[in-house]
Amino acid sequence: MPCPWLDPPGRYLSITRARAWISGKAVISSPSGPAPGGHNGQSGNPACASTRSPETAGHRRASTQGWSRVVASRNEGNAAKQRRKTTRRSEPVLTTTIRKASLCVGVDVGGTWIRIAGCTGVRRGSTIVVPTERDLRKLTPVLRAVWRRRGWSRRRVAALVVASRGLWTAGERQALARRLRGLAERVLVISDAQAALLGALGQRPGVLLLAGTGSIVVGWDGRGRWARAGGLGPLVGDEGSGFWLGREWLRATVRDGGLVPTLRAVHAPDPVRTIAALAPAVLARARRGDRRARRIAAEGQRHLAANALEVARALKLGQRVDASWAGSVLDDRWFRAGLVRAVARAGLRARWHRPAEEPVDVAARLAATLVHR
């Protein structure tokens, strides 16, 4: 009859019983198997009982040493297995935590639309587009609503980079970042023009001409110095922008019976967006040869070219300047071609580069660098 505490009989010693055996509560009585512990070697199992002769005692000592090595080896092996189990048990928790917090979000706050792009380490999601808010203090509720619809939370979003219009001083950027702290673990706020320049030219020094709802020209010298011209808002500046083109068209046509449409546009709930929406129609008229529309477009191109020259000179960018463009107005090929000619006539020799990335993609990429740096 086999001894009952071999697992299976005759081959493996259970750890619990081995500990009892090592402590002296059990002894090995024969090479064929151990006996459960009776006092002074008395077997508790008749099938495993034996007499204690000197030869048996010597064999017992040798067997004890051998079994001690076996048990010690098994203990070490089980400890290593336990460590591996503990590691395997803890790794998914860590991995899950990183994965849940690995979403990086970039936001481009323009004059008409807010574009939002989320990305993980492996892929980028589709761009979410929502109407913008003129008051940047209302940006946080707008983004919170998007977060709720997407099922995002502060712990889910590891980093958020917002590229916004109308922000130039460090105080303005920090104030907006503080209002957005509840949306992500890390928050960075930059200018939308800076994001557009990085997306267009990468690390190359140069100038970017941006004309959408508003307009601005921004430049970078490659060594940390920035310069800007324009971008003063619809009331004071934004020459060459969509709003400016629409407003100039309303001014030019108000005496031709356009008073009622003009008043409707001016007194709309969002007059800036309403008037800027006229720009595509103005440019379409210019392409068809309308004199007033062409004159307005040419004047806007001259304003943008003058601002580009001012920025290039302020940064001392040299004789040949890398340049690019951004914004819905400059997506119009006819208007952009006229701008290239206006820049050359202004005396700026520019090497034009098609934008490589949209500002929202730049913001998402910067958010990813915040997580991994």
Per-residue pLDDT band for 91 (boundaries 50, 70, 90) equals very low
Across all residues in the chain, what is the average pLDDT? 76
Q: Does residue 136 contact residue 164 with C-beta atoms inside 8 Å?
A: yes
Determine the average pLDDT of the residues in 49-73: 46
* 269-321 tens-digit pLDDT: 678 888 999 999 999 999 999 999 999 999 999 999 999 999 999 999 988 99
Highest mean pLDDT (candidates 36-50, 110-124, 167-181)? 167-181
Helix residue ranges per DSSP H, 229-320? 242-253, 259-266, 271-276, 279-287, 291-315
Distance (Å, whole) CA 277 – CA 265:
10
Distance (Å, whole) CA 108 – CA 196:
10
Q: Give the pLDDT confidence score for residue 272 in this predicted structure.
A: 85
Q: Domain 101-200+357-373: state its class.
A: alpha beta
117-121, 237-241, 283-287: least confident range? 117-121
29-33, 150-154, 198-202: least confident range? 29-33
- Secondary structure of residue 7 in the 3-state scheme: coil
Higher pLDDT, 147 or 83: 147
Highest mean pLDDT (candidates 26-40, 96-110, 171-185)? 171-185
- Secondary structure of residue 254 in the 3-state scheme: helix
pLDDT at 357 over 90: no
> CA dist 22 to 16, 36, 68, Å?
10, 12, 7
pLDDT at 96 over 70: no
Distance (Å, whole) CA 108 – CA 192:
7
The answer for residues whose C-beta is within 8 angstroms of residue 210's C-beta and 6 or more apart is: 192, 193, 196, 216, 217, 218, 325, 326, 327, 330
Neighbours of 264 (CB within 10 A): 11
Determine the average pLDDT of the residues in 25-54: 40
Sequence-distant contacts of 353-356: CB under 8 A, at least 24 apart: 353/200, 353/201, 353/206, 353/322, 353/323, 353/324, 354/324, 355/196, 355/199, 355/200, 355/324, 355/325, 355/326, 356/199, 356/200, 356/202
Per-residue pLDDT band for 99 (boundaries 50, 70, 90) equals very low
Q: Give the pLDDT confidence score for residue 170 in this predicted structure.
A: 84
Question: Can you give the pTM of this predicted structure?
Answer: 0.65
Q: Which of 366, 371, 359 is nearest to 165 (CA)?
A: 359
Domains 101-200+357-373 and 203-355 share a fold: yes
- The β-bridge relationship of strands 349-352 and 320-326 is parallel
- Secondary structure of residue 69 in the 3-state scheme: helix
88-92, 136-140, 161-165, 338-342: least confident range? 88-92
34-38, 124-128, 145-149: least confident range? 34-38
219-223, 264-268, 329-333, 353-357: least confident range? 264-268
DSSP run (H or E) holding 343: helix 333-345
Q: Give the pLDDT confidence score for residue 345 in this predicted structure.
A: 96
Per-residue pLDDT band for 100 (boundaries 50, 70, 90) equals very low
Q: Give the pLDDT confidence score for residue 44 in this predicted structure.
A: 41
Beta-carbon-side half-sphere exposure of residue 120 (alpha carbons within 13 Å): 10
1-5, 194-198, 207-211, 256-260: least confident range? 1-5
Higher pLDDT, 200 or 30: 200
Q: Got the DSSP string for 123-154? A: -B-PPEEEE--SSGGGHHHHHHHHHHHHT--T
Q: Which of 51, 47, 33, 50 is nearest to 1 (CA)?
A: 47
Neighbours of 11 (CB within 10 A): 8
Q: Give the pLDDT confidence score for residue 121 in this predicted structure.
A: 62
Higher pLDDT, 168 or 90: 168
The answer for residues whose C-beta is within 8 angstroms of residue 118's C-beta and 6 or more apart is: 103, 104, 105, 106, 124, 125, 150, 152, 157, 364
pLDDT at 38 over 60: no
Distance (Å, whole) CA 9 – CA 3:
7
Tell me the residue ranges of DSSP E strands in the chain: 27-30, 33-35, 103-109, 113-119, 128-131, 157-164, 186-191, 206-211, 215-220, 226-230, 320-326, 349-352
pLDDT at 3 over 50: no
- What are the residue ranges spanned by the domains of the chain? 15-96, 101-200+357-373, 203-355
Q: Is domain 203-355 classified as CATH 3.30.420.40?
A: yes
Determine the average pLDDT of the residues in 254-262: 65
Q: Give the pLDDT confidence score for residue 126 in this predicted structure.
A: 77
- Secondary structure of residue 206 in the 3-state scheme: strand
Determine the average pLDDT of the residues in 262-272: 70
79-88, 97-106, 131-140: least confident range? 79-88
Neighbours of 250 (CB within 10 A): 19
